Amino acid sequence: MLVSAKEMLKKAKAGKYAVGQFNINNLEWTKAVLATAQEMNSPVILGVSEGAGKYMTGFKTVVGMVNGMMEEMKITVPVALHLDHGTYEGCLKCVEAGFSSIMFDGSHYPIEENVAKTRELVDICEKKGMSLEAEVGSIGGEEDGVVGAGECADPKECKEIADLGVTMLAAGIGNIHGKYPENWKGLSFETLAAVQELTGDMPLVLHGGTGIPEDMIKKAISLGVAKINVNTECQLSFAAATREYIEAGKDLQGKGFDPRKLLAPGTEAIKATVKEKMELFGSVNKA
């Protein structure tokens, strides 16, 4: 059964490790992430962007697929199904569809509006026993049409949003979705420390997990990050393994064109990436 991300993140924050959010796109992705979480005995958050939800024909399909897989695969580790960078309307749709967690990305609104909309969603999530992630200070780069300037969050605004009773808080600290540019200045640990100072026990969320060097990941966890989002890195691993299969001409050998064969190396590559991240984040055996 899907769970809210509340307990797993509370434990992660207290235990100084982070739970990975891995974005899913289809059946192979979901299967790979769930199988790895179970194998690693790790809690996990399945992230679904609005674009990915649409691709999979809608949030209800996603809920049906994930619930079905959890049962058929006998998944016993804690799994949260979470909307990534949701609009207000998208959040309501996911509540209705049976997600166990949502993110409302109000970072592009003036702070008063972000507060007002987040407050309404806090009430809804409390009634449903769901977890809610809010965002202050946009994450840079582009993810599924969500474009952010990448500014650093104002710690006082973070406190204002945290005090509304959200479950976890994403604060922009110079992180970017997708690959980091050559001239990236790195994460602003100054901002992160100031946010953690004001928000205390609130689990903080680090978006843009792809390509952040290991030492920065570890330092971010030591400063209160309890959830780390990874999307692009699984896409890159999947694409590289699929390319290798095709370039080696394996789709032309025997029944190598069968999608179950053609997509297998990519699926295995996602598993390897997820495993590596769970080890780095410290969530192995924390189920």
Chain positions contacting ligand 13P, by CB under 6 A: 23, 47, 84-85, 143, 177-178, 207-210, 229-233
The neighbour count for residue 72, using CB atoms within 10 Å, is: 9
**Beta carbon nearer to ligand 13P, 112 or 215:** 215
Q: State the nearest-atom distance from the C-beta of 148 to ligand 13P, in Å.
A: 10
From first CA to last CA, the distance across the chain in angstroms is 14
Q: State the nearest-atom distance from the C-beta of 256 to ligand 13P, in Å.
A: 30
Q: State the nearest-atom distance from the C-beta of 210 to ligand 13P, in Å.
A: 3
**Beta carbon nearer to ligand 13P, 131 or 245:** 131
Phi-psi sector, 122: left (phi>0), alpha (psi -120 to 50), beta: alpha
**Beta carbon nearer to ligand 13P, 230 or 278:** 230
**Beta carbon nearer to ligand 13P, 145 or 259:** 145
Q: Is 84 a catalytic residue?
A: yes
Q: State the nearest-atom distance from the C-beta of 63 to ligand 13P, in Å.
A: 19
Q: Which residues are catalytic?
A: 84
